[in-house]
Amino acid sequence: MTPIHRAILDGNLKKVKKLLESDPNLIHEVDEYNVPMALLAAKTGSLALVRYVVEYSRASMNIYDKKHRSILHYGTMSGNVEVCKYLVERVGMSPLEGDLDLVTPYELADSLSTQEKVGEPTSNTDYQGILQYFERVVGTPLSSMFKNPIRTGFFPDPSIVRVGNDYYMVNSTFIYFPCIPVSHSTDLIHWKIIGYAITNPEWAMLDELEGGNGFWAPDISYYNGRFYIAATYRLNDNGPVYRKQMVVSSVKPQGPYSKPAIIEEDGIDPSIFNDDDGRRYMLLNRGARIFELNEDATKQISEAEMLYYGDYKQDSEGPHLLKKDGYYYLFEAEGGTESGHQITVSRSKTLKGRYEPCPYNPIMQQTDEDAMIQRCGHGKPVQTQNGQWYMVYLCGRKLIGKNGEPCSMLGRETALDPITWTSDGWPIVNQLKGPSCLQIKPYLPENVQEITADDFDEKTLFQNWTFVRVPEVDGYRIEGGKLILKGSRINLDSMYAKNILLRRQTRFTFKAGCKMQLPKMKVGQDVGITCYYDENTYLKFAVFEKEDGLYIGVQEKIGEQVISHPMQKLKKTVEAVYFKVTAVKMDWLFSYSIDGKEYQNIAHIDNVYYLCEEGLKKGKRFTGAMLGMYAHAGNETKETLYVTFEYFKYEAI
């Protein structure tokens, strides 16, 4: 331990002063965990030492440890209210700034005070006091706050509409079927999928599309008693026409929706705007182009023309118009869906312009490139029944893989932050502070959270299940509380594979499991669980029938590579297999059981990078990690393979 480190840990101000006077740069040292000295000083709880470091040393106050914890996180750990007060009131540190696990000082104080209550009280700590202090400065108890992202896992490109006291959201689904989930909420925080824009297999048009194409960036709106969903239908890159727009409508938000009307206009991210004079329009990129629609929004009736390109002028897309107080406000996503992503706004007194950009642009952007919540953009505003305004927007979080590589495992997600209107009439999101980790809940009645376990006891599948492209007509059935999947002739590595039933991975850390009855299999067949990104990258945790018997184990598919982990032989008499996946960020453990009681580990993979967006350079990797069940029958036999699953559980840990 270096002398400055020792002096700080001892809270020895005299010694710290002496050392820094002789060499001011010593404050830039870090300990063996890479924690900067200034943060360690805060952790001692010595206010005099903290003040000296802040006011006389060369330490900056925008420094973090490698978990992106600030000096206020460390002040909180000290248990000294006075240190926290000083850091908040004199240094301007925020109790709402999240670390890489999105834990804020406010929540840290809460968990430490709970530990304090159950454990041994330690002498000089007052976590309860810090918690109360943070509650006073934030102005809201923790129980009245929510965390971003509000929709974790693959929920990109959100669009929202309110009808009465109900909120509806749509997100992109690319090649997944049913297409484009419609989710419902009453509180803007908890969402449940209630239906889909396209449920008729004949209307899905997904069969020939590579992963990443399909239905992009939908918009939901409401007009004359009907819900309208518009989206881009993105074809493969090989034809002259590879983008069209589609519109469906229904009187019920959950559908069924009408047959897609196709609008042959190039561009992405269509949204529908209904003007007060009853005329209807579609907006879409590049920038914000506009054309008129007929009364039922199924036909284009004017040429597209440029409304306004955008303020940032790069990858301008996701246009939405809002009419308010005599202005047309035009919201755009700019900078592309990666780290430069942002939301800008412009306005005009007349629909066709000229649009003037907002002086506060971008009104949403993450500027701290080390923070967990990144790539914030592509949003749409909504006003609550109480008159408050919110923005739903796209965001993404990256884990760090084993070799330091960024891994966007959960794909692009949805976040929520309040909009306030400035005195000169401009909307700004979260006070221009970028995305929040912890935010005050809208003043709205709470509703229930999405279901995480399925016993297949209902007649139909829960709405959070989704297929990779359209399943066969007899691809699955639910019978006597069990799910029966029909084996696919084609393997998972092809876009022609069928009946792959998946759900979103919504947490970095989770446990999932299912019980499968073992069918009679032929050599070359395999049945079980898949953790899936697309036809190029996935893993199978399954039972494989080989020449010399039945095996259970894990097989990874990473581009052209197939990696088989050592498998275990199963007795022919085995009737059922229980699968368990325990995932802690990039590190996953696979275990199985024959009796449902004793589990045995079969494989451990410490870097599932290929289930992330960055995992392979092939195709458009726009979705997120999924997991679920599959059966691969192969082409060797005429007999149909059916496999029965009794339940599938998924829980955050």
**Least distance from C-beta 442 to ligand 6LW, angstroms?**
24
In the complex with ligand 6LW, the residue whose CB is nearer, 565 or 618, is 618
Q: Residue 470 and residue 17: Cα distance in Å, rounded? A: 70
Q: Are 173 and 182 in contact (CB under 8 A)?
A: no
In the complex with ligand 6LW, the residue whose CB is nearer, 54 or 333, is 333
In this structure, the dihedral spanned by the alpha carbons of residues 653, 106, 450 and 382, taken in order and rounded to 10 degrees, is -150
Of 55, 41, 51, give the one whose Cα is nearest residue 12.
41
Under rule CB under 6 A, residue 156 binds ligand 6LW:
yes
Q: Residue 600 and residue 522: Cα distance in Å, rounded? A: 25
Q: Single out the residue of 280, 378, 380, 557 in contact with ligand 6LW (rule: CB under 6 A).
A: 378
Q: Residue 469 and residue 351: Cα distance in Å, rounded? A: 39
Q: Single out the residue of 65, 126, 157, 613 in contact with ligand 6LW (rule: CB under 6 A).
A: 157
Of residues 334-363, those binding ligand 6LW (CB under 6 A): 337
Q: Residue 653 and residue 498: Cα distance in Å, rounded? A: 31
Q: Residue 140 and residue 438: Cα distance in Å, rounded? A: 11
Of 329, 213, 314, 353, give the one whose Cα is nearest residue 271.
329
The encoded tokens of residue 334 equal: 């700019």
In the complex with ligand 6LW, the residue whose CB is nearer, 172 or 591, is 172
Which own/partner contact pairs does 350-357 have at CB distance under 8 Å and 24+ positions apart? 351/275, 351/281, 351/290, 351/321, 352/290, 352/305, 352/307, 353/307, 353/308, 354/308, 355/307, 355/308, 355/328, 355/330, 357/311
Of residues 394-433, those binding ligand 6LW (CB under 6 A): 394
Under rule CB under 6 A, residue 393 binds ligand 6LW:
no
Of 239, 248, 293, 287, give the one whose Cα is nearest residue 267.
287
Under rule CB under 6 A, residue 235 binds ligand 6LW:
no
DSSP state letter for 19: H
Q: Single out the residue of 8, 138, 217, 282 in contact with ligand 6LW (rule: CB under 6 A).
A: 217
**Least distance from C-beta 134 to ligand 6LW, angstroms?**
34
Q: Single out the residue of 172, 221, 365, 439 in contact with ligand 6LW (rule: CB under 6 A).
A: 172
Q: Single out the residue of 91, 137, 194, 268 in contact with ligand 6LW (rule: CB under 6 A).
A: 268
Residue 259 CB coordination number (10 Å): 13
Under rule CB under 6 A, residue 255 binds ligand 6LW:
no
Under rule CB under 6 A, residue 317 binds ligand 6LW:
yes
**Least distance from C-beta 150 to ligand 6LW, angstroms?**
17
**Least distance from C-beta 36 to ligand 6LW, angstroms?**
35
Under rule CB under 6 A, residue 526 binds ligand 6LW:
no
Q: How many residues bind ligand 6LW (CB under 6 A)?
A: 14
In the complex with ligand 6LW, the residue whose CB is nearer, 156 or 624, is 156
**Nearest residue (beta carbon) to ligand 6LW:** 337
Q: Single out the residue of 189, 297, 330, 333 in contact with ligand 6LW (rule: CB under 6 A).
A: 333
Report the sign of the C-alpha dihedral through residues 179, 180, 185, 188, in that order.
Answer: positive
Under rule CB under 6 A, residue 613 binds ligand 6LW:
no
What residues are paired with 538 via a beta bridge? 532, 557
Under rule CB under 6 A, residue 622 binds ligand 6LW:
yes
Residues forming contacts to ligand 6LW in the complex (CB under 6 A) are: 156-157, 172, 216-217, 268-269, 317-318, 333, 337, 378, 394, 622
